[in-house]
Amino acid sequence: MKDLPSYIDEVFRDRPAQKRVVEALVNYGLSVRSGRIYLGSIKIPFSSLAEALGVDRRVVQSAVEFIGRDEWLSSFFERLLPAGPFLRDVARYLGYSVLSITPRRDQPGIIAGVSGILARHGVNIVQVIAESPYLKEAQKLYIVTEGPVPGKAIEEIRELEFIESIEIS
């Protein structure tokens, strides 16, 4: 098992623009198959990703070619899938609330602790997105709930020893 960020840092040490491309592929769940980039089954042109990242199309192409030559990266990116819609920014249109939680450290039980409190207060969870500490430096936990979250539940969550901060929107 490899530590993905460390491995990317190592193999793209002298290729910072290609490293940005590879990090974007991971962050968006874009796979690389047969020398092409895909979002699920949708083919993404190199030029589209290049424009979004502010790099030349050839940088994207070179990164994809490098991935194809690296056995571990190739296996990883062939299997990578997008996680689906992230409701954080559209929650209010659906009548949902969003808890954005910053943990003090990564440890087991963070999601269980927060979801247990919400369950005791009768709050239904619609979506949970937990950023990986292995992919993001400053990870966050996003919990989208049906309707508002009672103040008492928020206070209980704030009191958990592993919670650094919580924002509600």
Q: Is the pLDDT of residue 133 over 70?
A: no
Q: Is the pLDDT of residue 136 over 70?
A: no
Neighbours of 155 (CB within 10 A): 11
pTM: 0.79
**CB 150, CB 123: distance < 8 Å:** yes
Q: Tens digits of per-residue pLDDT, 11-41?
A: 999 999 999 999 999 989 999 999 999 999 9
The values of phi and psi at residue 143, to 5°, are: -125, 120
**CB 130, CB 94: distance < 8 Å:** no
Q: Is 101 helix (H, G, I), strand (E, B) or coil?
A: strand
Q: Tens digits of per-residue pLDDT, 93-119?
A: 999 999 999 998 888 999 999 999 999
Question: What domains appear along the chain, each with residue ranges and CATH number?
Answer: 4-79 (1.10.10), 91-168 (3.30.70.260)
Amino acid of residue 86: F
Q: Tens digits of per-residue pLDDT, 54-83?
A: 999 999 999 999 999 999 999 999 999 998
